[in-house]
């Protein structure tokens, strides 16, 4: 937007909004100074930034309702933010819009041991839920790598997963009920304490909607019993194909590991340099496999898995014998992204999902793209469910590298669609992948998304411009694709 027009809108909006907000929001909870707002200009997708008009930090549901009513009345956009650990710019402010920080909603209100649920605020950290219920031998299953910092409200917004979602599902599978505030300021309860709820499944539609449909102000999470036994196994392979086949055979044997991961050589070496976890640095790939359940079940599955690994020439097989050893193996895996910081100034962590059968094929193609663009790509896969996180390493201060990294990212996402996968596994779409939505979905499907958005937010004030592209944007993006001489997937009729 022209900066003079933007500045004039800013002045007008501040003049009308601040007095209105102040009727119910204390002064200290309304941030308007640039140095205060700076902290809110991006989430963990740091290459895109935008200062908000204001940041509001409510601490009651009534205050959230008031903020929404003010913004609705004045046609001012609202972007909600949890802990700001998102990786797709979903919580990046909108120009001249309000940033609604939910960090003060940080209480665990009730733990219901009988029904194995807890009612919590959206700003509660993911790990804090498991910590609070640990004395009862329970835990909250979703475990994104950011679980020490990320909020459960953010997990709901992005439908977050983690290394254990193969067996225990995504956030949507681990919550039962949401309380939300609509853009009109109405409180609503979606879902309910039972397995099924009457009416349309609004809880599922809210989960993963990236702040475009409503503001989550309360969450009933499911709690799971900690398994009696959990053992983690690490194995090295001298070829990617053998590692891929091991994944396929383990799943094919009817075993559903609690986690099943695959890391390539560059990843292994970077992790080992940082964490000294005993990862085999000369392997082409390692897989990490966690088995959990009763002691007997785990032993039984462990011997099946080891037999499979041996049949595929695995080496350096390590099996944890206690929780400390298990934690060591996982802590190193979860440090994969920090570890890559030693290799390049910037790391573009991607998130796509492919059918398991395409693992080795996609891995090989990514390596070829890496050569083509002359940028190092490190492959870290949640291989069990086909969710991959290739990391493109680059230096953003070099404009040419920055451009190449972005183009390479687009090619990798296209590759995911091409093999029948999807452009998102657990990080959401946000702004990062909005163009690729045009490749994944037909016009009719995108129209249906917009109609649904309209049903919740007629004025398009909630996190506008994210997640669902306009058809005009798609027309432009697809034209550009054809313009550069490559029909995206000429050999595929329909994915």
| 147-166 positions binding a second copy, by CB under 8 A | 159, 161, 165-166
Can you tell me which of 130, 145, 174, 207 binds a second copy, judged by CB under 8 A?
A: 207
Can you tell me which of 17, 202, 246, 462 binds a second copy, judged by CB under 8 A?
A: 202
Site string for a second copy, 235-274 (x = CB under 8 A): -------------x--xx-x--------------------
Residue 345 found at the interface with a second copy (CB under 8 A): no
Distance of CA 386 to CAs 46, 117, 242, 244, 251, Å? 26, 29, 16, 11, 12
Residue 205 found at the interface with a second copy (CB under 8 A): yes
Residue 293 found at the interface with a second copy (CB under 8 A): yes
The nearest distance, CB 466 to a second copy, in angstroms, is 12
Can you tell me which of 215, 421, 438, 465 binds a second copy, judged by CB under 8 A?
A: 421
Q: CA–CA separation, 388 vs 380, rounded Å?
A: 6
Q: Which range, of 23-31, 70-78, 180-188, 269-277, touches a second copy by CB under 8 A?
A: 180-188
Nearer to a second copy, 207 or 347 (CB): 207
Nearer to a second copy, 199 or 485 (CB): 199
Q: Which range, of 147-155, 197-205, 257-265, 341-349, touches a second copy by CB under 8 A?
A: 197-205
The nearest distance, CB 206 to a second copy, in angstroms, is 9
Size of the site for a second copy (CB under 8 A): 81
The nearest distance, CB 432 to a second copy, in angstroms, is 12
The nearest distance, CB 278 to a second copy, in angstroms, is 30
Site for a second copy in 88-127 (CB under 8 A): 113-116
Site for a second copy in 17-56 (CB under 8 A): none
Q: CA–CA separation, 327 vs 163, rounded Å?
A: 13
Nearer to a second copy, 254 or 490 (CB): 254
Nearer to a second copy, 1 or 472 (CB): 472
Can you tell me which of 41, 95, 272, 297 binds a second copy, judged by CB under 8 A?
A: 297
Can you tell me which of 12, 311, 454, 471 binds a second copy, judged by CB under 8 A?
A: 454
Q: Which range, of 14-22, 337-345, 370-378, 417-425, touches a second copy by CB under 8 A?
A: 417-425
Distance of CA 354 to CAs 181, 197, 261, 415, Å? 35, 31, 14, 9
Q: Which range, of 64-72, 203-211, 322-330, 338-346, touches a second copy by CB under 8 A?
A: 203-211
Site for a second copy in 373-392 (CB under 8 A): 385-387
Q: Which two tokens mark 120? A: 């919590």
Q: CA–CA separation, 139 vs 177, rounded Å?
A: 17
Nearer to a second copy, 152 or 212 (CB): 212
Can you tell me which of 173, 222, 328, 473 binds a second copy, judged by CB under 8 A?
A: 173
The nearest distance, CB 297 to a second copy, in angstroms, is 4
Residue 62 found at the interface with a second copy (CB under 8 A): no
Site string for a second copy, 354-373 (x = CB under 8 A): xxxx----------------
Nearer to a second copy, 267 or 428 (CB): 428
3-state secondary structure the chain: CCHHHHHHHHHHHHHHHHHHHHCCCCHHHEECCHHHHHHHCCCCCCCCCCCCCEEECCCCHHHHHHHHHHHHHHCCCEEEECCCCCCCCCCCCCCCCEEEECCCCCCEEEEECCCCEEEECCCCEHHHHHHHHHHHCEECCCECCCCCCCEHHHHHHHCCCECCHHHHCCHHHHEEEEEEECCCCCEEEEECCCCCCCCCCHHHHHCCCCCCCCEEEEEEEECEECCCEEEEEEEEECCHHHHHHHHHHHHHCCCCCCEEEEEEHHHHHHHHHHHCCCCCCCCCEEEEEEEEECHHHHHHHHHHHHHHHHHCCCEEEEECCCHHHHHHHHHHHHCHHHHHCCCCCEEEECCEECCHHHHHHHHHHHHHHHHHHCCCEEEEEEHHHCEEEEEEEECCCCHHHHHHHHHHHHHHHHHHHHCCCECCCCCCCCCCCHHHHHHHCCHHHHHHHHHHHHHHCCCCCECCCCCCCCHHHHHHHHHHHHHCCCCCCCCCCCC
Q: Which range, of 179-187, 342-350, 397-405, 483-491, touches a second copy by CB under 8 A?
A: 179-187
Can you tell me which of 189, 396, 406, 478 binds a second copy, judged by CB under 8 A?
A: 189
């Amino acid at each position: 937007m022209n900066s003079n027009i933007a500045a004039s809108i800013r002045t007008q909006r501040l003049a009308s909004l601040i007095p209105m907000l102040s009727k119910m929001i204390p002064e200290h909870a309304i941030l308007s100074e640039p140095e205060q707002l700076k902290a809110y200009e991006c989430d963990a997708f740091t290459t895109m930034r935008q200062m908000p008009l204001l940041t509001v930090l409510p601490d009651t549901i009534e205050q959230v309702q008031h903020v929404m009513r003010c913004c609705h009345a004045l046609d001012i956009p609202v972007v909600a933010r949890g802990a700001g650990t998102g990786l797709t710019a979903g919580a990046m402010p909108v120009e001249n819009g309000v940033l609604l920080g939910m960090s003060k909603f940080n209480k665990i209100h009730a733990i219901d041991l009988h029904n194995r649920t807890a009612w919590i605020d959206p700003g509660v950290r993911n790990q804090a839920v498991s910590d609070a219920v640990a004395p009862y031998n329970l835990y909250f299953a979703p475990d994104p790598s950011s679980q020490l910092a990320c909020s459960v409200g953010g997990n709901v917004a992005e439908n977050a997963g983690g290394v254990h979602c193969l067996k225990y599902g995504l956030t949507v599978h681990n919550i039962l009920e949401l309380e939300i505030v609509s853009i009109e300021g109405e409180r609503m309860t979606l879902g309910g304490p039972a397995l099924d709820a009457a009416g349309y499944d609004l809880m599922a539609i809210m989960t993963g909607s990236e702040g475009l449909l409503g503001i989550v102000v309360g969450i009933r999470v499911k709690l799971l019993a900690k398994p009696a036994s959990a053992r983690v196994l690490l194995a090295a392979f001298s070829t990617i194909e053998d590692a891929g086949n091991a994944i396929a055979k383990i799943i094919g044997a009817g075993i559903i590991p609690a986690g099943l991961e695959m890391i390539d050589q560059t990843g292994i070496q970077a992790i080992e340099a940082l964490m000294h976890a005993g990862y085999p640095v000369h392997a082409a790939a390692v897989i990490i496999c966690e088995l959990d359940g009763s002691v007997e079940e785990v032993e039984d599955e462990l011997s099946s898995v080891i037999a499979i690994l041996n049949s595929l020439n695995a080496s350096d097989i390590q099996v944890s014998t206690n929780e400390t050893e298990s934690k060591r193996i996982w802590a190193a895996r979860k440090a994969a992204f920090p570890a890559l910081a030693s290799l390049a100034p910037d790391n573009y962590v991607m998130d796509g999902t492919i059918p398991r059968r395409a693992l080795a094929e996609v891995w090989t193609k990514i390596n070829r793209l890496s050569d083509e663009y002359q940028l190092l790509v490190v492959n870290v896969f949640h291989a069990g469910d086909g969710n991959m996180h290739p990391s493109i390493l680059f230096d953003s201060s070099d404009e040419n590298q920055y451009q190449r990294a972005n183009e390479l990212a687009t090619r990798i996402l296209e590759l995911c669609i091409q093999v029948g996968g999807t452009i998102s596994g657990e990080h959401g779409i946000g702004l990062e992948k909005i163009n690729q939505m045009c490749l994944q979905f037909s016009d009719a499907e995108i129209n249906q998304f917009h109609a649904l958005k309209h049903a919740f937010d007629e004025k398009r004030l909630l996190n506008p411009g994210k997640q669902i592209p306009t058809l005009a944007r798609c027309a432009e993006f697809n034209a550009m694709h054809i313009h550069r001489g490559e029909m995206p997937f000429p050999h595929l009729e329909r994915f």
